[in-house]
């Protein structure tokens, strides 16, 4: 019941944000609904950890992995809402946007979150597909938000690439229903569990084709190479809070659906088939992203390529199996917390320097000292530097495959080193050196820094202490993948 | 579905021919008409499957599908063409012989062993399923090959039509509520895509996507 209430809450917030003319009220609503969403998701996650799968209605079913992803989405959504208020106020002050833009953002982002949570919670694979497709539709106009030619181009690319990807995913999804179809179609709402239970009856050859389509389709949404082409443009052109939602909320939800199909495929044809495909797409993503990170000229594109790299690392972990799966789940959690922080801090730089070009951002350490210190910390976290958890997850992912897939691990390690060097090269250029003329040091509003600091704090905290109910969820989720 | 073979044959033939026609069409208006015709064939296929297991909710969904795909979509496209004076579709990346060769390869691929497990899902519909797969691949080629934004939209919708045709022929139609959800998604996608086409035209002065290069700068 709570889940349905919070999803409806997001939809109502979206509609009210369109209608209401009072900006403070819209901001307050956004903060309130995400805060309530966080509390509800925590309660649901706790309930799932103690009592197993939560099924208040036949069309909702939240298992351990679903609960984990919903909790992650809710945490990210809350901090994005917290950051969006001062960020858009600054943009309005600078006359970059007006109140109409702000209303559009709050309305569409609330509807986007309703669809993301629905995708994770719904019990039927086709319904999950419908909601995931709807996440694309709700965000197209947020990518073209600033109404420049490049924004429209990025939005167009996003719309078309995702539409094709998701149609292929739809085809793959339908093929999994061959085990439960009876001549005249598929009766009623077939649950994920029913498909899994009938997996042994699936024709192995059909399942192989189905998984390839599902991987290409949902992999497009995850941003795995070579289906990643929408990502750099969409991340670079959307407002910073949306970039944070894409990397922190959309990526894990798309991965959740992909992993559900992987589990069914593994029952039908054994784990090797899906593992090899995930390893292939994973290593390709890491390599392409690493060189793009090194060569990119824009700071938000840097974050997009980093997301592609980390999606690849997660795919490698799920592909290698064993301890790699546990490490990949943890990696997904850490990435979803750290990447939004980086988007916020990059957004703050954009507000100050008015340019997304790395070459235009110089001397940030003297212009935005607090922001730069946090950026440095987030950078350490994202490249997998201790004491942040990604150091351990990357270590365990690579070590889980080193004996069986030595060449793959070597290539991935090399590419990750390139990404590491590339990231520090850009960070060094932006943070140090002489600031450009006309850019002077000013105090950054603490509200622009608190969400990033909190997310980094949470990441560090859960690296050393994972709450017992989250631990239970992670262990149960790993057992199902 | 086990329905009237003649009707299935006619519908699948129209699906495939219109897909080929979309590759050949040089005027945007013709593309809109061809898409409408293709959708009519797919909706007929869908309705004939429904008639075997008559159910009111499914019939409502069929009517909705008809309204969205056969009436609204071509109407939107025609209005768009009129509003922006987009008489001719933007050019293709390949010439006519190359496109024809591509279509032949697609047909061979669809009938090859790669897709045999899918074509054999319903042994009685083997040829129809091969043709539906060929229509899917051909729609994908259309999206890749065409430079025009409108053609790309038609390509996406044609791919969706081909998948629906495959699902009906393979007996994989979903329940009424899910079908309604899919139709709703398609209609919202259509509205957004058409709005985006207008935005693209306003900002780039053309619907030729190969001329959109502002992301590179």
Distance between CA atoms of residues A168 and B146, nearest Å = 19
Q: Is residue B97 part of a domain?
A: yes
Which pTM value belongs to this model? 0.93
Is the CB of A167 less than 8 angstroms away from the CB of B173?
Answer: no
Question: B11 phi and psi, to 5 degrees?
Answer: -65, -45
Q: Is residue B191 part of a domain?
A: yes
pLDDT band at B202 (very low <50, low <70, confident <90, very high): confident
Helical ranges in chain B per DSSP H: 5-24, 28-52, 56-65, 73-84, 96-111, 116-119, 126-145, 149-169, 176-204
When CB atoms are compared, the residue of B149, B174, B189 closest to A185 is: B174
Is the CB of A144 less than 8 angstroms away from the CB of B217?
Answer: no
Is the CB of B166 less than 8 angstroms away from the CB of A153?
Answer: no
Q: Which residues of A410-436 are buried (b: 16+ CB within 10 A; e: fewer)?
A: eebeebbebbbebbeebbeebbeeebe
Distance between CA atoms of residues A42 and A63, nearest Å = 14
Q: Which residues of A14-41 are buried (b: 16+ CB within 10 A; e: fewer)?
A: bebbeebeebeebbebbeebbebbbebb
pLDDT band at A305 (very low <50, low <70, confident <90, very high): very high
Residues of chain B with Cβ-Cβ distance to A163 below 8 Å are: 156, 189, 193
ipTM of this predicted structure: 0.93
A298 has which bridge partners? A357
Distance between CA atoms of residues A224 and A220, nearest Å = 6
pLDDT above 90: residue A269: yes
| Site from B45, B215, B216 to mutate, A interface, most A CB atoms within 10 angstroms | B215
Question: What does the mean pLDDT of chain A come to?
Answer: 93
Is residue A350 within a helix (H) or strand (E), and if so which, with residue range?
A: helix A323-353
Question: A306 phi and psi, to 5 degrees?
Answer: -65, -40
Distance between CA atoms of residues A393 and A351, nearest Å = 33
- Identify the CA nearest to A260 among candidates A74, A122, A73: A122
Q: How far is CA A75 from the centre of its chain?
A: 12
Q: Summarize pLDDT for A420-455 with one digit per residue, the tens.
A: 999 999 999 999 988 888 888 878 889 999 999 999
Query: What distance in Å separates residue A277's CA from the closest CA in chain B?
Result: 17
When CB atoms are compared, the residue of A167, A203, A237 closest to B156 is: A167
Q: How far is CA A360 from the centre of its chain?
A: 28
Is B156 an 8 Å CB contact of chain A? Answer: yes
Is residue A335 within a helix (H) or strand (E), and if so which, with residue range?
A: helix A323-353
What number of other Cβ atoms are within 10 A of residue B102's Cβ?
Answer: 18
Task: Return the minimum-mean-pLDDT range out of A145-154, A222-231, A233-242.
Answer: A145-154
Helical ranges in B170-217 per DSSP H: 176-204
Helical ranges in A223-322 per DSSP H: 230-237, 240-245, 251-269, 271-295, 299-320
Distance between CA atoms of residues A354 and A366, nearest Å = 17
Which residues span the domain enclosing B151?
Answer: 5-210
Distance between CA atoms of residues B66 and B56, nearest Å = 15
Is the CB of A130 less than 8 angstroms away from the CB of B182?
Answer: yes
Is B115 an 8 Å CB contact of chain A? Answer: yes
Is B112 an 8 Å CB contact of chain A? Answer: no
Q: Summarize pLDDT for A390-408 with one digit per residue, the tens.
A: 999 999 999 999 999 999 9
Is the CB of A140 less than 8 angstroms away from the CB of B196?
Answer: yes
- Identify the CA nearest to A258 among candidates A275, A234, A244, A242: A275
Is B98 an 8 Å CB contact of chain A? Answer: no
Helical ranges in A144-203 per DSSP H: 149-175, 192-197
Is B198 an 8 Å CB contact of chain A? Answer: no
- Identify the CA nearest to A232 among candidates A338, A307, A342: A307
Q: Which residue of B has its CA nearest to A206?
A: B117
Residues of chain B with Cβ-Cβ distance to A137 below 8 Å are: 185, 188-189, 192
Give me the mean pLDDT over the A157-184 stretch. 88
Q: Summarize pLDDT for B56-92 with one digit per residue, the tens.
A: 777 888 888 899 999 999 998 888 888 877 766 667 7
Max alpha carbon distance in chain B (Å)?
57
pLDDT score recorded for residue B1: 60
Distance between CA atoms of residues A377 and A384, nearest Å = 11
Residues of chain A with Cβ-Cβ distance to B158 below 8 Å are: none
Q: Is residue B216 part of a domain?
A: no
* C-alpha angle B15-B194-B178 in degrees, rounded to nearest 5: 60
Cβ atoms A445, A368 nearer than 8 A: no
Is residue A34 within a helix (H) or strand (E), and if so which, with residue range?
A: helix A23-51
Q: Is residue B196 part of a domain?
A: yes
Place of tokens 């997301």: A307
Q: Is residue B217 part of a domain?
A: no
Q: Is residue B215 part of a domain?
A: no
Q: Summarize pLDDT for A65-76 with one digit per residue, the tens.
A: 999 999 999 999
B177 or A276, higher pLDDT: A276
Residues of chain B with Cβ-Cβ distance to A181 below 8 Å are: 170-172
Question: What does the mean pLDDT of chain B come to?
Answer: 86
Cβ atoms B198, A147 nearer than 8 A: no
Token pair, residue A427, equals 């960070």
Is the CB of B173 less than 8 angstroms away from the CB of A185?
Answer: yes
Q: Which residue of A has its CA nearest to B204?
A: A149
Cβ atoms A161, A227 nearer than 8 A: yes
How many A×B Cβ pairs under 8 Å?
A: 130
How many domains is chain B built from? 1
- Identify the CA nearest to A326 among candidates A419, A270, A387, A396: A396
pLDDT band at B2 (very low <50, low <70, confident <90, very high): low
| Site from A122, A129, A130, A156 to mutate, B interface, most B CB atoms within 10 angstroms | A156
Is B196 an 8 Å CB contact of chain A? Answer: yes
Q: Is residue B157 part of a domain?
A: yes
Q: Which residue of B has its CA nearest to A151?
A: B215
Is the CB of A177 less than 8 angstroms away from the CB of B172?
Answer: yes
Burial of A406 (0-12, 13-18, 19+ CB in 10 A): exposed
How many domains is chain A built from? 1
Is B104 an 8 Å CB contact of chain A? Answer: no
pLDDT score recorded for residue A183: 59
- Identify the CA nearest to A17 among candidates A104, A93, A134: A104
Residues of chain B with Cβ-Cβ distance to A226 below 8 Å are: none
Residues of chain B with Cβ-Cβ distance to A134 below 8 Å are: 185, 188
Which residues span the domain enclosing A36?
Answer: 2-480
Q: Is residue B158 part of a domain?
A: yes
When CB atoms are compared, the residue of B149, B152, B171 closest to A183 is: B171
| Helix, coil or strand: residue A403 | coil
Q: Which residue of A has its CA nearest to B54?
A: A184
């Amino acid at each position: 019941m709570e889940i349905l209430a919070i999803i409806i809450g997001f939809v109502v917030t979206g509609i009210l944000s369109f209608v209401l003319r009072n900006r403070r009220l819209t901001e307050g609503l956004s903060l309130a609904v995400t805060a309530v969403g966080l509390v509800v998701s925590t309660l649901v996650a706790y309930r799932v950890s103690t009592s197993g799968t939560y099924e208040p209605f036949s069309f909702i079913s939240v298992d351990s992995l679903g609960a984990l992803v919903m909790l992650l989405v809710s945490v990210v959504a809350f901090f994005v809402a917290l950051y969006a208020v001062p960020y858009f106020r600054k943009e309005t002050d600078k006359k970059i946007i007006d109140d109409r833009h702000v209303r559009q953002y709050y309305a569409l982002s609330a509807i986007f979150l309703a669809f993301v949570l629905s995708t994770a919670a719904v019990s039927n694979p086709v319904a999950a597909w419908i909601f995931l497709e709807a996440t694309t539709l709700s965000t197209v106009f947020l990518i073209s938000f600033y109404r420049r030619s490049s924004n429209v181009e990025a939005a167009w690319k996003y719309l078309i690439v995702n539409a094709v990807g998701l149609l292929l995913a739809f085809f793959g999804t339908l093929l999994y229903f061959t085990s439960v179809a009876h001549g005249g179609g598929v009766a009623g709402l077939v649950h994920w569990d029913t498909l899994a239970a009938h997996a042994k009856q699936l024709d192995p050859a059909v399942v192989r084709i189905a998984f390839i389509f599902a991987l290409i389709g949902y992999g497009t949404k995850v941003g795995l190479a070579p289906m990643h082409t929408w990502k750099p443009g969409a991340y670079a052109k959307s407002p910073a809070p949306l970039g944070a939602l894409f990397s922190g909320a959309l990526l894990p939800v798309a991965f959740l659906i992909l992993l559900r199909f992987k589990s069914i495929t593994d029952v039908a044809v054994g784990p090797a088939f899906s593992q090899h495909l995930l390893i292939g797409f994973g290593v390709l993503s890491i390599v392409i992203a690493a060189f793009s990170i090194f060569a990119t000229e824009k700071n938000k594109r840097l974050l997009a390529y980093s997301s592609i790299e980390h999606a690849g690392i997660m795919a490698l972990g799920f592909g290698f199996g064993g301890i790699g799966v546990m490490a990949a789940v943890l990696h997904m959690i850490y990435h979803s917390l750290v990447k939004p922080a980086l988007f916020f801090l990059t957004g703050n730089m954009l507000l100050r320097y008015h340019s997304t070009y790395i070459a235009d951002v110089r001397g940030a350490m003297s212009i935005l000292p607090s922001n730069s210190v946090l950026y440095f910390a987030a950078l350490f976290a994202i490249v997998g530097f201790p004491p942040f958890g990604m150091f351990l997850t990357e270590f365990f992912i690579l070590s889980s495959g080193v004996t069986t897939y030595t060449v793959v691990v070597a290539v991935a390690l090399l590419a990750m080193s390139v990404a590491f060097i590339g990231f520090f090269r850009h960070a060094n250029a932006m943070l140090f050196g002489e600031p450009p003329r006309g850019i002077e040091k000013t105090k950054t509003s603490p509200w622009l820094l608190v969400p990033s600091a909190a997310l980094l704090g949470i990441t560090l905290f859960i690296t050393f202490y994972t709450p017992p109910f989250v631990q239970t969820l992670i262990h149960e989720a790993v057992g199902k993948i | 579905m086990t329905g009237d073979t003649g009707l299935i044959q006619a519908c699948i033939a129209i699906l495939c021919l219109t897909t080929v026609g979309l590759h050949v069409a040089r005027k945007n208006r013709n593309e809109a008409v061809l898409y409408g015709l293709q959708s009519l064939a797919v909706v007929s296929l869908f309705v004939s499957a429904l008639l075997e297991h008559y159910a009111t909710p499914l019939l409502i969904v069929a009517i909705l599908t008809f309204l969205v795909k056969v009436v609204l979509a071509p109407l939107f496209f025609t209005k768009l063409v009129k509003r922006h004076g987009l008489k001719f579709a933007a050019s293709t990346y390949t010439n006519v012989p190359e496109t024809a060769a591509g279509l032949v390869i697609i047909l061979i691929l669809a009938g090859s062993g790669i897709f045999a497990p899918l074509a054999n899902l319903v042994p009685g519909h083997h040829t129809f399923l091969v043709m539906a797969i060929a229509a899917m691949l051909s729609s994908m080629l259309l999206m890749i090959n065409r430079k025009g934004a409108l053609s790309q939209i038609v390509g996406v919708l044609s791919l969706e039509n081909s998948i629906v045709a495959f699902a009906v022929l393979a007996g994989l139609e979903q329940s009424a509520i899910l079908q309604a959800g899919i139709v709703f998604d398609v209609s919202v996608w259509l509205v957004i895509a058409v709005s985006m086409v207008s935005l693209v035209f306003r900002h780039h002065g053309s619907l030729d996507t190969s001329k959109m290069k502002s992301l590179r700068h």
